[in-house]
Chains A and B, each alone.
Chain A
Amino acid sequence: MPELGQRYRTAFAASAERGDGPLLFPFLTAGFPTPAETPDLVRAALRGGAAGFEIGVPFSDPLADGPVHQDAYNVALSAGATLETALEAVRVAREASPDAPLTLMGYLNPFLACGSASDDAVQAPGAAVGEPLEALARRAAEAGVDGVIIVDLPVDESDAAREVLARHGICLVYLLAPTSTQERIDAVAQRASGFIYLVSLTGVTGAREQVAQDFAAFVRRVQARTDTPLAVGFGISRREHVLEVGKLVPAAIIGSALTATIGSAPPDGRAAAVERYLEVATGRRSEETDE
């Protein structure tokens, strides 16, 4: 079993040494538009310059997601996507890239459904979600997952879940938001491993015209309390955003814009569209020559 968070540490250290800007972790919805296409899209993103992945596990009720991901999850679920689709995407990525940090991202209930709940009356709710995650942790570790992001598991309820995942060598990756208080930033800083996911804006997922104005101040507030690497997501869609946030944090996550790119590409051109999108976002291809 690898040491907890080792692939994240190696990737962030190597990137800092190269000094070539932020790592790009695309968010790919497992099973969108179909489970059969996901492996090709994973490989295409790696060819385009993805440094790792957030593999999104679709959920019926994604209350922190904007319309693009809501639609993508519905399409994926209708096409038969399950947690296994996401784990298969991880296996494909792991085979293609032994060192890339691979993170599962989703909502708590599909992760819980992997295992079974026992309703011990003395448990608190946060403790009660630990044991059912044992099955997820085991399957995820076998597939090669390095970390798990659970959108609706705040630090307050996370201790049992984090311990279960850690037993299988998997980081629980925490989120912080511009509304997070000092007290909450400290609570996350004490528990964080892998990286901390900064939600760049006060809102749901989805592409925005600009990076949120108060983002720099938010990054400084977090950096004052922790040395854990930071990655930024929500609203990041263009090369210029990547360059802008790259001055502040070592990694960026692109989600909805990539999903929209897949959704609007012709059925036989989706992998090519993903590869090209990543090439532009990582700066390997300039937008002017994007023809």
Chain B
Amino acid sequence: MTRESGAFGPFGGQFAPETLMPALAELEDAWADAQADPDFRAELDGLLRDYVGRETPLTHAPRLSEQLGGAQIWLKREDLAHTGAHKINNALGQVLLARRMGKPRIIAETGAGQHGVATATACARFGIECIVYMGEEDVRRQALNVFRMNLLGTEVVPVKSGARTLKDAINEAIRDWVTNVRNTHYLIGSAIGPHPYPLIVRELQSCIGNEAKRQLEEKIGKLPDVAIACVGGGSNAIGLFHPLIDDHVRLIGVEAAGEGLNARHAATLSAGAPGVLHGTRTYVLQDEHGQITEAHSISAGLDYPGVGPEHAWLMLTERAEYVSVTDDEALDGLKLLSETEGIIPALETAHAIAYASRIAPTMSPDETILIGLSGRGDKDVEIVRDALASRER
């Protein structure tokens, strides 16, 4: 019982049913073993380069910067990675890990469908059986992504329990894992869940921050003053932040304020309280009785009532700030980036754009904001069209 518990101060840990604990230990060992194996790293790097298209570009946003009239804004273009979001970085790494562990079956949860598509893609690439759990409400909101997963040979199981969104999909994936743990790897898509998942996902997503750091040094010879990323579970944010932790860079995570913090929202760190959900101690949206409350965001990928435990730690230690942006502001952010730079961001990412547009005017032109452009917006155009239409009415 002397295993490393995966603690981020009082957050993180392993609060999982006994049945899964040996599998978590096996995963921890396999991950340590893989990290020490140069062949694993080489294979993953080769896939990231030749299959995903890394490194992804770092794009200056001159018209956006000019319009906001303050800091220079740079975009780390995870939207240009294969499958259109950062999720593929983690999915490929964990599929390689599952193969190493000899697990022939992979399960995953998905909210917006980006992680589901990434997992389906990685499983297709390696011919591994893949089942994705998706809340029925998200199946409806993201029908095209369901079809994409089907095209990739993945079975999508609609989840009918609870609010029928991401949290319920995770519950159902864990139930599958409890039942089939001996031959199944659960490929969690965010920096959440019991140890070692938050560490594995962070390491697999750290290419975002590592590349951006190097690219920005090459282009402007210095680090950003501010780095901004949206936070649902927080995988793209931790991937961007982690390599910058020891640098003099202000880190800002942007949560979904939905209809406002006094109404329905998904701003876990801004308005939640410490608790235990999905195997980890972290901030959670909950009522006075400890029942998990339903999150709401226009963006399915941020629609989660928990958050990665490392973000809770970064907030507690004041190394990072966590703010929130409403559905309406995110829509404005999406329009702004589309019109000024010809880049339609995912609704998740639009939250980061919206917050950047709030603080950029207060900064000087020789200062720099780095935004994690976590995904592209093609999947969201229908939702955006409907939301903009109802706003005009």
Interface residues of A (CB under 8 A from B): 59-66, 70, 74, 77, 82-83, 107-114, 117, 119-129, 151-157, 174-181, 183-184, 187, 199, 202-204
A-contacting residues of B (Cβ < 8 Å)? 1, 3, 5, 7, 9-23, 25, 161-162, 167-168, 170-171, 174-175, 178-179, 181-182, 273-281, 284, 286, 288-292, 309, 316-317
B292's contact among A61, A112, A120, by CB below 8 Å, is which? Answer: A61
Tell me whether A183 and B1 are in contact in the complex, defined as CB-CB below 8 angstroms, given that A109-B277, A113-B289 are known contacts: yes
Q: Are B14 and A154 in contact (CB under 8 A)?
A: yes
Q: Find out whether the CB atom of B15 lies under 8 angstroms from the CB atom of A153.
A: yes
In the complex, the answer to whether A175 meets B292 with C-beta atoms within 8 Å is: no
Question: Which residue from B11, B19, B162 sits with its C-beta under 8 Å from A202?
Answer: B19
Chain A proximity of B120: nearest CB distance (Å): 23
- Beyond A110-B291, A125-B7, A155-B1, is A203–B17 a contact (Cβ under 8 Å)? no
Contact status A180-B22, CB under 8 Å: yes
Distance (whole angstroms) from the CB of A154 to the closest CB of chain B: 5
B178 & A109 in contact (Cβ 8 Å cutoff)? no
- Our pick among B11, B162, B279 for the contact of A60 (Cβ within 8 Å) is B162
Q: Do A122 and B9 touch across chains, with their CB atoms under 8 A apart?
A: yes
Q: Once the chains are docked, how many angstroms separate the CA of A152 from the CA of B16?
A: 5
Contact yes or no, B17 A123, CB < 8 A: no
Contact A63 B13 (CB under 8 A): no
Q: How far is the CA of A230 from the CA of B216 in the complex (A)?
A: 61
A125 and B12 form a contact (CB under 8 A):
yes
Cβ–Cβ contact B15 & A152, under 8 A: yes
A119-B10 in contact (CB<8A): yes
Structural contact, B18 and A125, CB atoms closer than 8 A: no
**Interchain nearest-CB distance for A131 vs B (Å):** 10
Contact A156 B3 (CB under 8 A): yes
- Chain A nearest Cβ from B158, distance in angstroms: 14
Evaluate contact between B10 and A125: CB separation under 8 angstroms. Answer: yes
Complex: chain A residue closest to B291, CB-CB: A60
Q: Is the CB of A128 within 8 A of B15?
A: no
Q: How far is the CA of A282 from the CA of B16 in the complex (A)?
A: 32
Pick 16 A–B contacts, CB within 8 A, sort by A.
A61-B162, A61-B278, A63-B278, A77-B291, A107-B276, A108-B276, A114-B290, A119-B316, A124-B7, A154-B14, A154-B16, A157-B13, A177-B18, A177-B19, A181-B22, A202-B181
